[in-house]
Amino acid sequence: MIKSQEIISKLPYSKPFLFVDEIIHIDENGVEGSFTFDENLDFYKGHFEHNPVTPGVILTETMAQIGLVCLGIFILDNNFNKNTSIALTSVNMEFIKPVFPNEKVTVFSEKIYFRFGKLKCKVSMKNENSVVVCTGEIAGMVV
């Protein structure tokens, strides 16, 4: 069985676009992982002036990296290699609360289905107070 650190090492991202610090739990039905948004990330410089907030597209990317790609790597296990990737195909997100610099968030993903190379998941993100900040569905294809 593939280990959490091995999954993170197989992600096709690097800093500053890697939004996975830790995989807390993973199995064939879902994943839980976390990331802390460092206040020095470039997008905070202009979003919003004097009151930085994490852009929704970055929250979506974080949920995709943890909730879709990490889970896909786990499910594919030995069939995932350097020539394999998981391409985002659709998202449907609802943003409920802002995420500020230096906040740690936890992503929860539950597999809806994986068939014909398509993985679809129900995802949610909570802040350190266990308050849901965004939720939705996300899907991708193995290519």
- What is the rounded distance in angstroms from the CA atom of residue 72 to the CA atom of residue 87? 11
Q: If DSSP codes are grouped into helix, strand and coil, which group holds residue 84?
A: coil
**Catalytic residue check, 47:** yes
Residues in the chain: 143
Q: Which of 11, 22, 24, 47 does the annotation list as catalytic?
A: 47
- Whole-angstrom Cα distance, residue 23 to residue 2? 12
Q: Are 91 and 135 in contact (CB under 8 A)?
A: no
Pair of tokens at residue 21: 């610090």
Q: Is 4 left (phi over 0), alpha (psi -120 to 50) or beta?
A: alpha
List, by residue number, the catalytic residues. 47
